[in-house]
Chain A
């Protein structure tokens, strides 16, 4: 049985860990690395850092945060937000990140997906997709942290992204993000059905049981969690137990 991955997601603006609802109304939570270290110590399988305003400024600024985190956090780290070139990806990876997540720049220049995959391997190139429901079982791709529509259909964009070299999909539901209403299971199912790379469900985890649903029914390989952890509504340990008791494979951790 494959182990599903429990991932703590940290959205960052400037030097602060923030959290919004539907990626808007951002509230400051605290210091990113204090939280990151706590999640690492609780047994998070991975961390995802997203620079939430980076695309507006055309560059990812998380190098310093990551390089500090890499001193005492020893699980894989993915960094996204504003990564617009192989050079920027190189800088982020040199800071200690293991993978980069690309959204906005991949939409405007799909070739970037291939360039990053060829340079560092597909396993390093995470396609971040911000999806918004626009009709029955139809989702549109958004960029710039959920601010701009693209006209692209999520399912066909993901398919194209994987063909171009994306090795993993970070799938954020803009509709559910920060709402605690549970994952958009139909969205995750639609995407995981058409790709053979891992899919990370993100957005909406209100309760540990939501994870079980998005894995069993949506086919998610991993789950990104923010609000539930930031506001101490559940610890990674409690979430791991829920998953385990529901019969899901999780990392043996003590």
Chain B
């Protein structure tokens, strides 16, 4: 069989089917696997994820995938982490006690603020659609997965935790929840993470997936 366009890491966490359907709709040939060999030889890799940080890391460890994913970064294989899959890219998470992440993008994962900037209580998880805005106006999105998107376009979010990258330069796009600015797309070299679900964000998300498979 020809090498697929995208390998989705199937480690038991996440709406893998929806991610697969989204990528296939965009014309990609997709394989789901937890086989280190197939992951290491992939053209592009998606790390999906819905659920708890610690158990997801545990699952990756028990499948011996932590080193494999780090190796992808060495090989400069394009990697897209979605939702929890994005959070796993960072150094550590506060979720139910401190847990180490993959450490591919410096930073940590903390809870979404339960109050707005003006002190009003707000709902957690943050569920719904929010606009995407360039983190660095002057740089824009030219060399990112958002190249074909416009500032202000909305994506779909479901999350209780959020990424705080250490380096401002790793922020690609921000959204606002209760006036708090949240990093919702981060990137470093060939690695991208998005907090929202491109596979559930209608045409806005499909544009991101198309860009990922054509890049």
Number of chain A residues close to chain B: CB under 8 A: 31
Number of chain B residues close to chain A: CB under 8 A: 34
User: Across the interface, do A252 and B152 meet the contact criterion of CB distance under 8 Å?
Assistant: yes
Contacts of A76 in B (CB 8 A): 156, 158, 197, 200
Q: State A75–B125 Cα separation when bound (angstroms).
A: 18
B112-136 interface with A by 8 A CB criterion: 121-125, 127-131
Given contacts A74-B200, A75-B156, contact A5 B125 (CB under 8 A): no
Q: State A43–B129 Cα separation when bound (angstroms).
A: 12
User: Across the interface, do B202 and A40 meet the contact criterion of CB distance under 8 Å?
Assistant: yes
Q: Which of A71, A72, A74, A196 contacts B205 (CB 8 A)?
A: A74
- Does B51 touch A at the CB level, under 8 Å? yes
Q: State A221–B156 Cα separation when bound (angstroms).
A: 15
User: Across the interface, do A121 and B202 meet the contact criterion of CB distance under 8 Å?
Assistant: no
Q: Which of B52, B128, B200 contacts A5 (CB 8 A)?
A: B128
Instruction: List the A residue with the shortest CB-CB distance to B178.
Output: A2
User: Across the interface, do B158 and A3 meet the contact criterion of CB distance under 8 Å?
Assistant: no
- Does A98 touch B at the CB level, under 8 Å? yes
Q: Which of B25, B121, B123, B201 contacts A71 (CB 8 A)?
A: B25
User: Across the interface, do B131 and A252 meet the contact criterion of CB distance under 8 Å?
Assistant: yes
User: Across the interface, do A70 and B129 meet the contact criterion of CB distance under 8 Å?
Assistant: no
Contacts of B50 in A (CB 8 A): 120-121
- Does A122 touch B at the CB level, under 8 Å? yes
Instruction: List the B residue with the shortest CB-CB distance to A67.
Output: B17
Instruction: List the B residue with the shortest CB-CB distance to A94.
Output: B17
User: Across the interface, do B123 and A196 meet the contact criterion of CB distance under 8 Å?
Assistant: yes
A115-131 interface with B by 8 A CB criterion: 120-123
Instruction: List the B residue with the shortest CB-CB distance to A40.
Output: B202
- Does B80 touch A at the CB level, under 8 Å? no
Contacts of A93 in B (CB 8 A): 15
- Does B193 touch A at the CB level, under 8 Å? no
* Chain B residues touching A, majority SS: mixed
Q: State A139–B191 Cα separation when bound (angstroms).
A: 52
Q: Which of B25, B121, B125, B128 contacts A74 (CB 8 A)?
A: B25
Instruction: List the A residue with the shortest CB-CB distance to B204.
Output: A253
- Does B92 touch A at the CB level, under 8 Å? no
* Chain A residues touching B, majority SS: loop
User: Across the interface, do A196 and B121 meet the contact criterion of CB distance under 8 Å?
Assistant: yes
Q: State A196–B125 Cα separation when bound (angstroms).
A: 10
User: Across the interface, do A168 and B18 meet the contact criterion of CB distance under 8 Å?
Assistant: no
User: Across the interface, do B130 and A98 meet the contact criterion of CB distance under 8 Å?
Assistant: no
- Does B88 touch A at the CB level, under 8 Å? no
Rounded to whole Å, the gap between the CB of A240 and the closest CB of chain B is: 11
Contacts of A121 in B (CB 8 A): 50-52
Q: State A43–B127 Cα separation when bound (angstroms).
A: 17
- Does B153 touch A at the CB level, under 8 Å? yes
Contacts of A122 in B (CB 8 A): 125
Q: State A108–B21 Cα separation when bound (angstroms).
A: 35
User: Across the interface, do B199 and A198 meet the contact criterion of CB distance under 8 Å?
Assistant: no
- Does A251 touch B at the CB level, under 8 Å? yes
- Does A45 touch B at the CB level, under 8 Å? yes
Q: State A155–B154 Cα separation when bound (angstroms).
A: 33
**Mask of A25-55 contacts with B, CB within 8 angstroms, 1/0:** 0000000000000001001010000000000
Contacts of B17 in A (CB 8 A): 70, 94-96
Instruction: List the A residue with the shortest CB-CB distance to B205.
Output: A74
Q: Which of A2, A95, A96, A253 has the most CB of B within 10 A?
A: A2
Contacts of B199 in A (CB 8 A): 74
Q: State A120–B15 Cα separation when bound (angstroms).
A: 10
Q: Which 4 A-B pairs have the closest CB atoms?
A: A251-B129, A251-B154, A123-B158, A123-B125
Some 10 contacts from A to B, beta carbons below 8 A apart, are A70-B21, A71-B21, A72-B25, A74-B199, A98-B15, A123-B158, A167-B125, A196-B121, A196-B123, A253-B202
